[in-house]
């Protein structure tokens, strides 16, 4: 079996996800919400792009992920899927489109797949949504599960703190992870849980676990692109590393532009017709 490196131009598929996990090659995933940045992410060799419902916060400026609609996710999903030549593209199913109604869940997932051309969908939750998960999988639509801090349940949790620190919640998370794997999910995102629990989930499961704030004992990592690039202002949880300070670069560029225009120095002769 050949090694799937970022320079490998082959499309990343659900099958490749499993192969990468099996040979111990870490899986990289980042969010994107538009064509331009998704193209850069794809060309950089990131294995998977998540059209996260974090767009509700990052793109739309909402406090939570709850307000974003299916139509809005589909719009963003289309833009990203058009850009992704190599990366696997996952689209988040937004709040209210899959909970408590398997038929509605299937209709929502089918719309996402038909209209965006993404490769799979991601859903938050375990036992509570398992009928929806089964209905979507039965239609041949691959699913990434999402457990731990599931932001669509923020009103139940009452905050964005670390999840599953107590024995009961940790036990339920383990059971949910097994349930999702048995149902046929090809990967699970674990968000903001203790490293030891995430490692245990990965050790017990066959499918890859992708962590965000879940330590280094899992098969891959996901971050919100705007957060890791230093674009998001005032958000720096412990698990987040800024791999660049693009926000500062943009601010400097805007300042230079403003000065150049105000001083009548831009455009110069070479920049004019
Ligand atoms: O919506 C999102 O960006 C996510 C990631 C944080 C995993 O679900």
- Cβ density class 131-151: b for 16+ within 10 Å, e for less: bbbbbbbeeebbbbbbbbbbb
| pLDDT, position 4 | 47
| pLDDT, position 190 | 98
Please give the backbone phi and psi of residue 12, each rounded to the nearest 5 degrees, phi first: -80, 125
What's the CA gap between 31 and 34, in Å, rounded? Answer: 10
Q: If 0-12 CB within 10 Å is exposed, 13-18 middle and 19+ buried, where does residue 215 land?
A: middle
The answer to whether the CB of 50 falls within 8 A of the CB of 90 is yes
For the CA of 92, the closest atom of ligand 1 is: 1
| pLDDT > 90 fraction of the chain, expressed in percent and rounded | 96
Please give the backbone phi and psi of residue 61, each rounded to the nearest 5 degrees, phi first: 80, 20
What's the CA gap between 32 and 51, in Å, rounded? Answer: 6
For the CA of 189, the closest atom of ligand 1 is: 7
Which of 29, 41, 48, 50 has most ligand 1 atoms within 8 Å of CB, for mutation? 50
Please give the backbone phi and psi of residue 101, each rounded to the nearest 5 degrees, phi first: -155, 100
pLDDT in tens, 180-197: 999 999 999 999 999 999
3: pLDDT strictly greater than 50: no
From ligand 1's centre to the CA of 266, what distance in Å?
40
Mean pLDDT calculated for residue range 206-212: 98
CA nearest neighbour of 75 among 104, 117, 41, 107: 117
| pLDDT, position 7 | 61
What's the CA gap between 245 and 92, in Å, rounded? Answer: 27
pLDDT in tens, 25-77: 999 999 999 999 999 999 999 999 999 999 999 999 999 999 999 999 999 99
**What single string gives the DSSP state of each residue in 243-258?**
S--HHHHHHHHHHHHH
Mean pLDDT calculated for residue range 244-265: 98
Q: Whose CA is nearest to atom 5 of ligand 1?
A: 52
What confidence category does residue 9 fall into, taking pLDDT thresholds of 50, 70 and 90? confident
| pLDDT, position 219 | 98
Q: Whose CA is nearest to atom 2 of ligand 1?
A: 52
pLDDT in tens, 120-164: 999 999 999 999 999 999 999 999 999 999 999 999 999 999 999
What's the CA gap between 6 and 225, in Å, rounded? Answer: 18
Instruction: Return the active site residues.
Output: 191
In three-state secondary structure terms, 55 is helix
Q: Whose CA is nearest to atom 8 of ligand 1?
A: 52
Q: Whose CA is nearest to atom 3 of ligand 1?
A: 52
The answer to whether the CB of 149 falls within 8 A of the CB of 162 is yes
pTM equals 0.96
Mean pLDDT calculated for residue range 80-87: 98
| pLDDT, position 5 | 54
In three-state secondary structure terms, 216 is coil
| pLDDT > 70 fraction of the chain, expressed in percent and rounded | 97
How far, CA to CA in Å, does 179 sit from each of 29, 59, 175, 182? 23, 33, 6, 5
Enumerate residues lining ligand 1, CB below 6 A: 31, 50, 52-54, 92, 189, 191, 212, 222, 224
Element (H, E) at 143: strand 143-148
| pLDDT, position 2 | 46
CATH class, range 14-242: alpha beta
From ligand 1's centre to the CA of 224, what distance in Å?
7
């Amino acid at each position: 079996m050949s090694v799937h490196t970022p320079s490998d131009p082959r499309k990343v598929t659900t099958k490749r996800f499993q192969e990468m996990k099996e040979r111990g090659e870490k899986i990289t995933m980042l969010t994107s919400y538009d064509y331009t940045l998704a193209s850069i992410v794809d060309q950089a060799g990131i294995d998977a792009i998540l059209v996260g419902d974090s767009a509700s916060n990052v793109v739309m400026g909402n406090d939570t992920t709850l307000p974003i609609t299916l139509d809005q996710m589909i719009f963003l999903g289309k833009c990203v899927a058009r850009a992704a030549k190599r990366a696997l593209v996952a689209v988040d199913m937004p709040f209210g489109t899959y909970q408590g109604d398997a038929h509605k869940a299937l209709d929502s997932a089918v719309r996402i797949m038909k209209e965006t051309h993404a490769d799979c969908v991601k859903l938050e939750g375990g036992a509570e949504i398992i009928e929806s998960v089964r209905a979507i999988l039965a239609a041949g639509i691959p699913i990434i599960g999402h457990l731990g801090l599931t932001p669509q349940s923020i009103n139940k949790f009452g905050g964005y703190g670390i999840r599953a620190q107590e024995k009961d919640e940790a036990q339920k998370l383990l059971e949910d992870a097994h349930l999702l794997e048995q149902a046929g999910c090809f990967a699970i995102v674990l968000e903001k849980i203790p490293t030891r629990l995430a490692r245990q989930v990965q050790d017990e499961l066959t499918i890859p676990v992708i962590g965000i704030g879940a330590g280094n004992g899992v098969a891959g990592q996901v971050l919100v692109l705007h957060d890791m690039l230093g674009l998001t202002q005032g958000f720096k949880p412990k698990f987040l590393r800024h791999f660049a300070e693009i926000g500062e670069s943009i601010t400097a560029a805007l300042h230079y532009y403003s000065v150049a225009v105000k001083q009548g120095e831009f455009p110069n002769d070479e920049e004019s017709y």
